[in-house]
Structure 1
Amino acid sequence: MDGIAIELPLFLLATFAGAFVAGLSGFAFGLVAAWLWLYVLTPLQSASLIVGFGLLVQGYSVWKLRSALDWHRLWPFIVGAVIGVPTGVSLLTWADPKSVRIAVGAVLIAYSLYAFFRPQLKSRSSCRRPLT
């Protein structure tokens, strides 16, 4: 962030938008924040901030719900994170920032279109038979 005049407000806007969406839905902080962070930060800086903010935002939820978690079922996710995070960070050190921006934008557009056009699932209450 060299030019602080416009980059700092953009950074703060993306951070607020990501936290707002994560607060409403419980996920997607990184994708929402990366939408704008990748234009003012390098991919490596963005990834580091996404991991850090994700730990803060989701860490609070995990702490509050720790008694409801089945810790034995979490080990595949922990192993995946231990392998995936360093691998992703090492890939980002040599990735072209323009390519990363285009890839993140393409994923956001594709998922938005999928979510908009997917068929609606029946709710569980409409699938139940009436009690007799």
Structure 2
Amino acid sequence: MHDPVFWSVAIAAVIIVGLSKAGLLGSLGVIGVPLLTLVMPAREAAGMMLPVLLAMDAIAVWSYRRDVNWHILWILLPGAAVGTVIGWALSATVSEPAVRLAIGVITLVFILDAWLPLRKKLEGLPPSRPWGWFWGAVAGFTSFISHAGSPPYQIYVLPQKLTPAVFAGTAAFFFAIVNAAKLLPYYSLGQLSVANLQVSAILAPVGVVATLFGVWLVRRISAALFYRLAYWLVFLLALKLIYDGVMGTFLA
């Protein structure tokens, strides 16, 4: 509680996640837990972040309450429920580095496909239900393990070319529901300790301010610039996740 290095890292992580919650920084918000693991155990980091995420979710949901693509949301949620249950069941056996490596590889393929493309682009096509169920399940699973559900979510939603506000609003509602569903499992796993909740209470206002600032920016940025930045940030994130996954899985 009195370590300045801990608080510097924690505040930086929460600000990045808050801006990502608002729809900025692409999927960069998934580095929140990995960044916190520099100063605290991974399971405790995930537990500490959950109440902070829920506070930021509340702000994002309220800010984007009129900017939601409900069709996409209802496609994703059933899969997310299944993925959350699987994450709960396997939380003791699946390592976070392995999850980060898998997310990184999948995300890198997605970005390369969008840029090259490796196959026919999906822009403008109706969102497929089976495809949405699959990526919703992946998002639910990775979100449970390490709050890293954003890359799978973006793989499904980015090609739909929503406006920045609708893209952010749909994400806000999706992750608010997914994060709320993690409360009971996290409690049962002992990740919501009193010490964690005390730190969460201190960091939550920082996350709220970062989210509000991000919402303000999203409504003022052009769609072309928004997607250009999103794809580049997700690409860099994929490389970072692959590096962390390889180092943690094979070289630990």
TM-score by length of structure 1 reads 0.69
Q: Contact conserved, 1:21 with 1:29, CA < 8 A, in 2?
A: yes
2:143 aligned with 1:17, yes or no? no
How many percent of aligned residue pairs carry the same amino acid? 15
1:127 maps to which residue? none
Question: 1:36, 1:99 → 2: CA distance?
Answer: 20
Deviation of 1:21 after TM superposition, in Å, equals 3.5
1:60 maps to a residue whose letter is: A
Does 1 or 2 have the higher relative contact order (CA < 8 Å, sep 6+)? 2
Between 90-99 and 18-27, the greater mean CA deviation after superposition:
18-27
Amino acid at match of 1:88: G
Question: Are the equivalent residues in 2 in contact too, given 1:15–1:33 (CA < 8 A)?
Answer: no
Q: CA RMSD in A?
A: 2.9
Match of 2:219 in 1: 93
After superposing on structure 2, the runs of 4+ consecutive aligned residues of structure 1 that deviate more than 6 Å are: none
CA distance in 2, matches of 1:103, 1:13: 25
Q: Computing the radius of gyration over CA atoms, which structure comes out larger, 1 or 2?
A: 1
* CA deviation map 1:84-113 (0-9, x unaligned): 222211211111111111111111211222
Report what 2:169 is aligned to. Answer: 48
Gaps of 5+ in 2: 1-68, 70-123
TM-score by length of 2: 0.40
Moved more, 74-83 or 27-36: 27-36
Contact 1:14 1:36 (8 Å CA) reproduced: yes
- Contiguous gaps of at least 5 residues in structure 1: 124-132
Q: Distance in 2 between matches of 1:90 and 1:52?
A: 18
- In structure 1, give the amino acid aligned to 2:147: F
Letter in 1 for 2:204: I
Shift of residue 23 of structure 1?
Answer: 0.7
